[in-house]
Amino acid sequence: MSGSVTLASTVDGERRFFTLITSAIAIIVLVGFARTFFLRAMFPEVQSFAAPETFFTIHGLFFTAWIGFLVLQAILIRVRRADLHRSFGWIGVCLACLVVLLGTYGSLIAAQRPGGFIGVPLPPSQFLIFPVLDMVLFTAFFALAVIWRDNPQSHKRLMVLAAVNLVEAAIIRIPIGIIGAGAPFTSRGLSYLFIVALIIWDYRSSGRIHRVTLWGGLVIVVSLPVRMLISQTTAWTEVASRLVRLVN
């Protein structure tokens, strides 16, 4: 009997944990983009940091929809509606595809601006590797989550990692001086706290780090120095220039 109670407690705790971690990601997205997107009309003094193109309104709406979907799916599992969670899966696939397509195209639009990416001192052709690789990793994590949808432990961690890979874009917009001053190390580093949370939960629930948390987390962390190295190569500069010409 005690074993059954312990198992039930662990399962309930896990449902609560993944609801909380996805909700925390959503809150950071809301806070980070509040001034330049969600509550844009209330902060006219920072509009020079907001994307001027109408396209980014569409991009922001679908990105927000995907984050909302992530939270909804976690809540459905929390309230024991796995049937609805599975039924809504195709919506997530459609939203994820739109996030990748719009995110990639939006990166190219930003890179071809006369001033490049807003608030980024690096040349646009050099910085482009950051959002492009974000889209590559998001695609990989989400695709694996779909493939392993019948493996709940792997599936839910891959979904969280897919979101963690993108949340830095919101963190860097939070109006705290030290975050912007130390970017990308501070903004990326803060996003890694979600990986730390997964590691802590893995240890508490099973006494070991789940393989998805371990390898997926390592890929995200290692991707930062990899991006920095690739961005400075002539080969990448040439590739970036060709990509940007696609939207000219």
Whether 239 has a pLDDT exceeding 80, the answer reads yes
Whether pLDDT at 13 is above 70: yes
pLDDT band at 1 (very low <50, low <70, confident <90, very high): very low
The mean per-residue pLDDT over the stretch 22-29 comes to: 97
| 41-97 confidence digits (pLDDT tens) | 888 888 777 888 889 999 999 999 999 999 999 999 999 999 999 999 999 999 999
Q: Are the C-beta atoms of 64 and 91 separated by less than 8 Å?
A: no
User: Where residue 245 falls among pLDDT bands split at 50, 70, 90?
Assistant: confident
Helices and strands, counts by H and E, the chain:
11, 0
Residue 25 binned pLDDT confidence (cut-offs 50, 70, 90) = very high
Is residue 4 situated within a structural domain? no
Q: What is the pTM of this model?
A: 0.92
The answer to whether position 46 is within a domain reads yes
How many independent structural domains does the chain possess?
1
Q: What is the pLDDT of residue 177?
A: 81
How far is the C-alpha of 186 from the C-alpha of 46, rounded, in Å? 21
Report residue 38 CA to chain centroid gap: 18
Q: Is residue 178 part of a domain?
A: yes
The number of CA neighbours under 13 Å toward the Cβ of 37 is 22
Q: Collapse the DSSP code of 226 into the 3-class scheme (helix H, G, I; strand E, B; otherwise coil) and give the result.
A: helix
In this predicted structure, what is the pLDDT of residue 100?
Answer: 97
Confidence of residue 9 (pLDDT cuts 50, 70, 90): low
Residue 195 has pLDDT above 90, yes or no: yes
Tell me the per-residue pLDDT of 107-132, one tens digit each, with 9 for 90 and over.
Answer: 999 999 887 888 788 888 899 999 99
Nearest Cα neighbor of 236 from 137, 139, 128 is: 128
Is residue 90, in this structure, part of any structural domain at all? Answer: yes
Query: How large is the C-alpha radius of gyration of the chain?
Result: 19
- Tokens 């052709």 sit on residue: 125
- Domain range for 49: 9-247
CA distances, 169 to each of 32, 82, 145, 151 (Å): 8, 31, 22, 29
Cis amide linkage into residue 184, ω under 30° from 0: yes
